């Protein structure tokens, strides 16, 4: 048997199993071996209510209320009912024919409930049917996170449940059509074929020795069927190191390739730049100055820059981008006494592209520099022929012509920029704003437009933990803007309990009466389905706007903004808000990125428990735009201790990076959905809690490539990298 063999060739697979395997991205025997148990211990998984799925058997810790002994409506079956709450939601419990169960537990007790999650046919609502219930003293910390459940791990029951009498029962995440048990037996069957004897460890021996990691073979056995906890831990450590190491190898390889490319040498120094920056109505922060100098230095090297500029919201990244762009557009192409080098500036949304286009006009209007804008809804150019102080709409073909012949040195746009038809004459500098909103493919498309590779500046306000930055941005140099412009008053952030809603609205009214504006962020666009009685009653933008107008702020203009609006509609709402025609903008989190309206000094976040901390921080950043005192009111209907503790971090943290670290720790591995967000597995997310391990993996990857750039001594590594790549492509 070969690792690359398809599962179907070894196992008989039903259609529903095939679908489930696809969902888990499992195609080959190798994929199966890399599908690790999600935990070891209890048979049923401890879950948060919001993560429950129909049909599964789960354990939930929470508070029980509304206990009643009743009769089922039609059939007159005696039954007991109750409602279970945790930080994430609530779920009904029904005990058919056992009404007395509802009487055995005191109202509002903390309980552990274990049973089958069922679904009401009509409404789709989930409920526990006939679960076991017991009173508990405390709710275990880290419910839904921790790898090992202490409770019943070593009970006689779990021992008999494991076919091979392994001391720990391995539990794999399941999906409709495929059970944990199936995975267990399938993996054991493969391990018994002796295939392990034929495998070569992808990790070099010396690395295993140096970091005391178990070999590939041992680790596979330990991770799938550990005899003791420490074996499982060691095995997981090995695999998380392995994954981070492989990512690092890829990133470092890319970096080395990138550095072989030719680029434009731009020799502008600080004095030259000063001519530009002295016109700014403010002076640069030290962090901005350092960032600009770093970039100018890169420009001189002749190899393409690949840099990421990470700075909290409001730290002034645009000014850094504009200033360095000035150096580019005031430089001539090599050996030419006319024309200029060009800049492409890509934004994730049309609103932002327009905003940055306007910004660039204000920065460059005193210079003989044409600026273009390209989005899917049209093109503009500054200056207009008739009005030297304004921009004008032009046809796409006209714009493309001027970009191609170099007459437009600065082109701002959305991803419309990366279309093949957009050709530059001398593209020397590519800037990506809010880069986390773009994929790697889009980034590559932008920088590989022409033969000579432009310098790349990626900008992001998403504070991510250092471990993640080292891993995911391993191919980029990192500049951090860790300083806000002076005079910014910290945003006053308050957690608002439901009972204080009205007094908070009064405070907001006072602020609005002085002419300021306000954002109200809601987690949803539409009203939730009223049939879904237990659906989370998240506030929706549309309904909330209506409610506020009717009941709370009848005297103010209220606008609505969400992702489903057409671009033109979004734009006109934003215009109205910008012009002050709207005082209150009720919006989903689409305003999250980059929007800049200085007069908006209040932001209300509804259903805050539904957002991540880093995202909340970014939302809050919408009002960190000027020297006015700004306020952020965080509304939450959930009184859960964990929720409040997490939100309190928002009040206390000094910056986004602190919050990101907190999110990583607090939500725990896996919960950050590493796969969706960063393309790494749950096991690698475990490594990201461990800075030392990430640094070691990075160090070793660099060292290996320095010694052996083609990895010719490590054929297994090459194989492994290739199969990772294949997988990525296959599932895209
Ligand atoms: P971000 O880093 O979030 O993209 P922006 O570039 O949009 O931030 O800048 C936010 C605001 O701060 C803008 O209005 C900008 O003019 C202003 N600003 C930038 N740098 C400074 C500075 N050094 N001093 C004062 N204000 C500044
Ligand atoms: Mg910005």
**Pairing between β-strand 126-135 and β-strand 477-481 as defined by DSSP bridges:** unpaired
To the nearest 10 degrees (0 to 180), the angle between helices 229-260 and 691-707 is 50
For a ligand 1 pocket test, name from 284, 287, 314 the mutation site with the most ligand atoms within 8 angstroms of its C-beta.
314
Q: Which of 575, 546, 567 is nearest to 558 (CA)?
A: 546
Distance between CA atoms of 598 and 499, rounded to whole angstroms?
Answer: 30
Distance 347 CA to ligand 2 centre (A): 9
Describe the chain by its helix, strand, coil percentages, rounded to 5: 40, 20, 40
DSSP state string for 239-304? HHHHHHHHHHHHHHHHHHHHHHS--------HHHHHHHHTTSSSPPPHHHHHHHHHHHHHHHTSSP
Greatest mean pLDDT range, 257-266, 423-432, 491-500, 606-615: 423-432
For a ligand 1 pocket test, name from 280, 312, 317, 318 the mutation site with the most ligand atoms within 8 angstroms of its C-beta.
318
Residue 391 in contact with ligand 1 by CB distance below 6 A: no
CATH number of the domain located at residue range(s) 42-171 in this protein: 2.40.50.140
Cite the residue boundaries of each domain of the chain with CATH code 3.40.50.300.
284-300+316-460, 492-654
What mean pLDDT is predicted for residues 414-439? Answer: 92
SS3 (DSSP) at 13: coil
Greatest mean pLDDT range, 50-54, 451-455, 539-543, 728-732: 451-455
What pLDDT sits at residue 145?
40
What pLDDT sits at residue 594?
54
* Cβ pair 504, 727 in contact under 8 A: no
Q: State yes or no: pLDDT of 732 exceeds 50.
A: no
Q: State yes or no: pLDDT of 75 exceeds 80.
A: no
Q: What is the pLDDT of residues 622-653, one digit of tens each?
A: 887 667 899 999 998 776 777 788 888 888 88
What pLDDT sits at residue 166?
39
> 123 or 381, which is more confident?
381
Q: Please, which pLDDT band fits residue 531 given cuts at 50, 70 and 90? A: very low
Q: Please, which pLDDT band fits residue 121 given cuts at 50, 70 and 90? A: confident
* Cβ pair 679, 699 in contact under 8 A: no
Place of tokens 């100055």: 289
What pLDDT sits at residue 727?
58
Task: Give start and end residues of each alpha helix (H) in 309-349.
Answer: 317-329
For the record, the structure tokens of 482 come out as: 């860790």
Q: Which of 243, 251, 311 is nearest to 690 (CA)?
A: 243
- CB-based contacts of 360, cutoff 8 Å, min separation 6: 322, 325, 345, 371, 410, 412
Place of tokens 């921009």: 391
Residue 35 in contact with ligand 1 by CB distance below 6 A: no
Strand segments, DSSP code E, in 482-563 are 492-496, 517-521, 558-561
Cite the residue boundaries of each domain of the chain with CATH code 2.40.50.140.
42-171
What pLDDT sits at residue 670?
40
What pLDDT sits at residue 144?
42
**Domain over 492-654 is classified CATH 3.40.50.300:** yes
Distance between CA atoms of 513 and 598, rounded to whole angstroms?
Answer: 16
What pLDDT sits at residue 552?
95
Place of tokens 């070593």: 154
Distance 434 CA to ligand 2 centre (A): 7
Q: What is the pLDDT of residues 679-731, one digit of tens each?
A: 667 777 777 778 888 899 999 999 999 998 888 888 888 877 877 766 554 43
What pLDDT sits at residue 623?
85
**Pairing between β-strand 631-635 and β-strand 600-605 as defined by DSSP bridges:** parallel
What pLDDT sits at residue 228?
84
Residue 356 in contact with ligand 1 by CB distance below 6 A: no
Dihedral, CA of residue 17, residue 239, residue 680 and residue 61, to nearest 10 = 70
What pLDDT sits at residue 669?
40
What pLDDT sits at residue 557?
96
Q: Which of 306, 208, 216, 297 is nearest to 254 (CA)?
A: 306
Angle at 383 (CA atoms; ends 379, 389), nearest 5 degrees? 125
- Give long-range contacts, CB 8 A cutoff, 24+ apart: 364-367: 364/322, 364/326, 364/329, 364/410, 365/389, 366/279
DSSP state string for 390-410? S-EEE-HHHHHHHHHTTS--E
Nearest CA to ligand 1 atom 5: 316
Distance 485 CA to ligand 1 centre (A): 7
Distance between CA atoms of 438 and 685, rounded to whole angstroms?
Answer: 21
Pick the ligand that lies closest to the CA of residue 480: 1
Q: Which residues of 536-551 are buried (b: 16+ CB within 10 A; e: fewer)?
A: bebbbbbbbbeebbee
What pLDDT sits at residue 652?
85
Q: Which of 193, 203, 162 is nearest to 37 (CA)?
A: 162
Distance 192 CA to ligand 2 centre (A): 56
Q: What is the pLDDT of residues 7-44, one digit of tens each?
A: 999 899 999 899 999 988 899 998 899 999 988 875 56
Q: State yes or no: pLDDT of 159 exceeds 70.
A: no
* Cβ pair 479, 306 in contact under 8 A: no
Q: What is the CA radius of gyration of the chain?
A: 29
Lowest-pLDDT range of 91-105, 310-324, 634-648, 715-729: 715-729
Distance between CA atoms of 429 and 341, rounded to whole angstroms?
Answer: 8
Q: State yes or no: pLDDT of 438 exceeds 90.
A: no
Q: Please, which pLDDT band fits residue 595 given cuts at 50, 70 and 90? A: low
For the record, the structure tokens of 296 come out as: 């100018």
Ligand 1 atom at minimum distance from 621 CA: 3
* Cβ pair 723, 4 in contact under 8 A: yes
CATH number of the domain located at residue range(s) 284-300+316-460 in this protein: 3.40.50.300
Lowest-pLDDT range of 404-418, 507-521, 546-560, 637-651: 637-651
What pLDDT sits at residue 416?
95
292 phi and psi angles, rounded to 5 deg: -60, -45
Pick the ligand that lies closest to the CA of residue 314: 1
Lowest-pLDDT range of 50-64, 77-91, 149-163, 386-400: 149-163
Distance between CA atoms of 167 and 657, rounded to whole angstroms?
Answer: 40
Distance 484 CA to ligand 2 centre (A): 13
Distance 273 CA to ligand 2 centre (A): 21
Distance between CA atoms of 94 and 126, rounded to whole angstroms?
Answer: 11
Q: State yes or no: pLDDT of 205 exceeds 50.
A: yes
Task: Give start and end residues of each alpha helix (H) in 34-155.
Answer: 101-104
**pLDDT over 90, % of the chain:** 42
Lowest-pLDDT range of 157-166, 249-258, 335-344: 157-166
**Pairing between β-strand 455-460 and β-strand 517-521 as defined by DSSP bridges:** unpaired
Residue 313 in contact with ligand 1 by CB distance below 6 A: yes
To the nearest 10 degrees (0 to 180), the angle between helices 350-364 and 567-578 is 50
Instruction: State the CB neighbour count (10 A cutoff) for residue 707.
Output: 9
Nearest CA to ligand 1 atom 16: 316
pTM of the model: 0.71
Q: What is the mean pLDDT of the chain?
A: 84
For the record, the structure tokens of 182 come out as: 């199936």
Residue 435 in contact with ligand 1 by CB distance below 6 A: no
User: What's the longest Cα–Cα distance across the chain?
Assistant: 93
What pLDDT sits at residue 715?
82
Distance 135 CA to ligand 2 centre (A): 51
Could you tell me how far CA 579 lies from the centroid of its own chain? 32
């Amino acid at each position: 048997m070969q690792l690359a063999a398809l599962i179907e060739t070894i196992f008989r697979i039903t259609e529903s199993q095939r679908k489930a395997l696809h969902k888990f991205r499992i195609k080959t025997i190798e994929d199966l071996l890399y599908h690790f148990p999600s935990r070891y211990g209890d048979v049923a998984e401890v879950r948060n209510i919001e993560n429950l799925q129909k049909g599964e058997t789960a354990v939930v810790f929470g508070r029980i209320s509304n206990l009643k002994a009743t009769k089922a409506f039609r059939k007159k079956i005696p039954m007991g009912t109750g409602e279970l709450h945790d930080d994430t939601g609530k779920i009904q419990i029904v005990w058919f024919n056992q009404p007395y169960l509802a009487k055995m537990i005191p109202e509002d007790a903390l309980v552990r409930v274990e049973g089958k999650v069922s679904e009401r046919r009509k409404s789709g609502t989930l409920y526990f049917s006939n679960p076991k219930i017991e009173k508990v003293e405390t709710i275990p910390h880290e419910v839904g996170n921790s790898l090992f459940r202490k409770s019943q791990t070593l009970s006689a029951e779990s021992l008999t449940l494991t076919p091979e009498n392994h001391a720990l029962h391995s539990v794999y995440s399941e999906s409709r059509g495929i059970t944990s048990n199936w995975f267990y037996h399938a993996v054991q069957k493969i391990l018994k074929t002796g295939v392990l004897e034929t495998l070569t460890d992808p990790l070099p021996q010396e690395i295993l020795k140096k970091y005391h990691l178990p070999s590939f073979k041992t680790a596979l056995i330990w991770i799938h069927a550990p005899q003791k906890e420490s074996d499982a831990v060691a095995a997981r450590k090995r695999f998380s190191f392995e994954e981070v190491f492989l990512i690092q190898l890829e990133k470092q390889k890319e970096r080395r390739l990138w550095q072989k490319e030719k680029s434009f040498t731009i020799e502008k120094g600080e004095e030259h730049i000063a001519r530009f920056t002295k016109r700014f109505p403010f002076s640069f922060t030290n962090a901005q100055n350092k960032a600009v100098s770093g970039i100018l230095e890169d420009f001189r090297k002749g190899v393409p820059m690949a840099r990421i500029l990470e700075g909290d919201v409001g730290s002034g990244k645009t000014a850094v981008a504009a200033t360095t762009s000035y150096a580019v557009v005031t430089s001539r192409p090599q050996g030419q006494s006319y024309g200029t080098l060009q800049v492409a500036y890509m934004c994730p949304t049309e609103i932002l592209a327009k905003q940055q286009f306007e910004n660039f006009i204000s920065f460059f209007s005193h210079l003989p520099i044409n600026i273009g804008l390209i989005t899917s809804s049209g093109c503009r150019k500054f200056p207009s022929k008739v009005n030297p102080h304004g921009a004008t709409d032009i046809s796409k073909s006209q714009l493309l012509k001027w970009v191609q012949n170099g007459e437009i040195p600065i082109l701002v746009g959305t991803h419309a920029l990366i279309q093949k038809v957009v050709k530059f004459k001398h593209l020397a500098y590519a800037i990506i704003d809010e880069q986390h909103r773009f994929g790697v493919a889009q980034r590559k498309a932008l920088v590989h437009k022409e033969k000579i590779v432009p310098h790349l500046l990626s900008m992001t306000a998403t504070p991510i933990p250092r471990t993640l930055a080292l891993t995911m941005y391993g191919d980029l140099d990192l500049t951090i803007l860790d300083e806000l412009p002076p005079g910014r008053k910290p945003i006053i952030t308050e957690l608002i309990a439901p009972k204080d809603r009205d007094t908070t609205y009064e405070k907001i009214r006072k602020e609005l009466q002085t002419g300021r504006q306000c954002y109200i962020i809601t987690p949803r666009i539409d009203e939730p389905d009223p049939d879904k009685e237990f659906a989370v009653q998240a506030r929706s933008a549309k309904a909330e706007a209506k409610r506020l107008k009717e009941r709370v702020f009848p005297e103010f203009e209220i606008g609505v903004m969400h992702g489903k609006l057409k671009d033109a509609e979004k734009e006109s709402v934003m215009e109205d808000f910008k012009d002050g025609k709207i005082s209150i903008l009720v919006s989903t989190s689409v305003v999250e990125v980059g929007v800049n309206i200085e007069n908006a000094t209040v932001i209300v976040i509804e259903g805050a428990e539904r957002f991540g901390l880093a995202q909340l921080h970014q939302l809050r950043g919408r009002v960190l735009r000027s020297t006015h005192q700004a306020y952020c009111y965080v509304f939450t209907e959930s009184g859960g201790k964990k929720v409040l503790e997490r939100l309190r971090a928002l009040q206390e943290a000094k910056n986004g990076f602190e919050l990101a670290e907190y999110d990583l720790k607090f939500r725990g591995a896996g919960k950050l959905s590493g796969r969706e967000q960063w393309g790494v597995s749950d096991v690698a997310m475990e490594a990201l809690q461990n800075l030392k391990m990430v640094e070691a993996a990075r160090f070793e990857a660099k060292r290996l490539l320095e010694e052996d750039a083609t990895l010719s001594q490590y054929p297994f590594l090459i194989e492994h990298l290739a199969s990772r790549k294949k997988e990525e492509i296959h599932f895209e």
